[in-house]
Amino acid sequence: MENALKGLLLAAGVILTCTIVGIGFYVAREANATASVSAEKISEVRNNISDSSIVKYDGIQVTGSDVINLAKKLLRKYDSSKEAPVTVSVKTAKVDQVYRNKEYLSELTDFTKDRYINPSGIFLGEVQWDENDVIVSIRFVEQ
């Protein structure tokens, strides 16, 4: 009888150990899935925060000085040999121009140039995304 009791205790111990190990693997798998989803959400929130300074111009009317300031802010780091990840296009009565770097930024405030933007003019902003929901350009059309 004593051997049978020991056998039952050994079997119960093995079953209990297997159950605990199985629960451990299940918890680890669920934690990995949760961490993956959390990382995706954090990345999405980070992108939304970094794009918020551009997205706020989508569908609203702004002044020409806002257009000039945004173009300078986005493109000032990129010389003529580089291209910015976000382009700024401006359509005025005189020109429809796409700005990819800081090459022509000085002409935005020079009223003798065709690229001149009237600081008190009204422009409608439109943000354009690619298929991966990454902002590729912002367009301003003079109203």
What's residue 48's pLDDT?
A: 65
40 and 63 housed in the same domain: no
pLDDT over 90 at 123, yes or no: yes
89 and 124 housed in the same domain: yes
What's the order of all strands across the beta sheet hosting 61-63?
61-63, 122-129, 135-142, 87-91, 96-99
44 and 69 housed in the same domain: no
76 and 6 housed in the same domain: no
What's residue 93's pLDDT?
A: 83
43 and 105 housed in the same domain: no
108 and 40 housed in the same domain: no
65 and 135 housed in the same domain: yes
71 and 121 housed in the same domain: yes
26 and 62 housed in the same domain: no
Beta-carbon count within 10 A of 140 CB: 25
Domain encompassing residue 50: 1-55
Per-residue model confidence as pLDDT tens digits over 43-102: 777 766 667 778 888 899 999 999 999 999 888 888 888 888 888 889 888 888 999 988
78 and 119 housed in the same domain: yes
What's residue 122's pLDDT?
A: 94
Q: Which two tokens stand for residue 84?
A: 């910015």
- Which of 55, 72, 90 delimits the end of a domain? 55
What's residue 21's pLDDT?
A: 93
Which position has the token pair 């429809």? Answer: 96
pTM, to two decimals: 0.64
Which H or E run includes 54?
helix 2-55
65 and 131 housed in the same domain: yes
Q: Phi-psi bin for 123: left (phi > 0), alpha (psi -120 to 50), beta?
A: beta
pLDDT average, residue stretch 8-26: 91
pLDDT average, residue stretch 23-30: 91
The tally of domains found in the chain comes to: 2
32 and 67 housed in the same domain: no
